[in-house]
Amino acid sequence: MLSIKNLTKSYKGGKKAVSNLSLEIERGDIYGFIGHNGAGKTTTIKAVAGIIDFEEGEILVDGHSVVKEPILCKQKMAYIPDNPDLYEHLTGIQYLSFIGDIFGIDAETRKERIKKYADAFELTASLGDLIASYSHGMKQKLAIISALIHKPALLILDEPFVGLDPQASVLLKGYMRELCAEGSAIFFSTHVLDVAEKLCNKIAIIKEGTLIVSGRTEELTQGKSLEDVFMEVVRHGGDAAKEK
Ligand SMILES: Nc1ncnc2c1ncn2[C@@H]1O[C@H](COP(=O)(O)OP(=O)(O)OP(=O)(O)O)[C@@H](O)[C@H]1O
């Protein structure tokens, strides 16, 4: 569903933020992307979302290039950034309607899905308020709802659990599992290793822009905690980026 091939990205005047990174995310995968601060997670995610350009490599969403066919790719995906920057002058419901229009969700389905997710995230009573009046967590919940209502084939999230209350985190994890059970794929970054260990069937670890290790969670951990594996991998690196 998502194929990242030899991605390399440098920022102006900076060193390589991501170097020759390749990953395959298949339908049904909940793929966790972990690494220390500045490792290159957000850069990779933004390149996948089509928000930043990159000098080398290829990113395919369901076989389509994010560079050559950006609209087609965006129709298939939802991207939730780490700091949701939504249209503050709209109300919550106006924003969800706008997303519904963009993704061509019919009125009946839209109503039903907005009710399901807004009720669950306890946002229904605030949907008539301006987004400018929302707290950070409320904006995050609205961004999550806007992604879920169009049932994306590929869901990309950057640090989705930061700032969410425990109840919302549990809900989000449940909806991530639900979406993948229906055949979608999820790729997300996180620093919360126990969540990654429990939620993800596959995990990739990136260090200083280079993929160190990737593969099935249980094959990476082999009975150890993900935290121990992460510390070991980050301390000693990998002989080579290996796909287990
Ligand atoms: N707009 C930018 N201009 C220049 N350098 C940048 C820019 N954004 C990121 N970088 C650099 O690229 C590298 C990777 O940053 P990135 O934000 O992808 O890391 P990250 O793994 O998401 O980190 P964190 O866990 O702290 O969010 C870092 O060295 C960072 O300083």
For ligand 1, say whether the CB of 46 is within 6 Å of any of its atoms.
no
Which pLDDT score, from 0 to 100, does residue 244 have? 44
Which of helix, strand or coil describes residue 105? coil
pLDDT in tens, the chain (244 residues): 999 999 999 998 878 999 999 999 999 999 999 999 999 999 999 999 999 999 999 999 999 999 999 999 999 999 999 988 899 999 999 999 999 999 999 999 999 999 999 999 999 999 999 999 999 999 999 999 999 999 999 999 999 999 899 999 999 999 999 999 999 999 999 999 999 999 999 999 999 999 999 999 999 999 999 999 999 988 876 554 444 4
CATH number of residue 168's parent domain: 3.40.50.300
Which pLDDT score, from 0 to 100, does residue 228 have? 93
Q: Which of 7, 10, 15, 43 to mutate to test the pocket of ligand 1 (most atoms within 8 A of CB)?
A: 43
Distance 58 CA to ligand 1 centre (A): 20
Does the model's ipTM exceed the 0.95 cut? Answer: yes
Which of helix, strand or coil describes residue 231? helix
**C-alpha to C-alpha distance for 156 and 107, rounded to whole angstroms:** 25
Residues 6+ apart with CB under 8 A from 184: 1, 27, 28, 151, 152, 153, 154, 155
Number of domains in the chain: 1
The pair of structure tokens assigned to 209 is: 């822009």
Which pLDDT score, from 0 to 100, does residue 242 have? 46
**C-alpha to C-alpha distance for 15 and 35, rounded to whole angstroms:** 17
Residues 6+ apart with CB under 8 A from 119: none
Residue-range definition of the domain harbouring residue 85: 2-243
pTM: 0.93
Q: How far is CA 37 from CA 22, 181, 189, in A?
A: 20, 31, 11
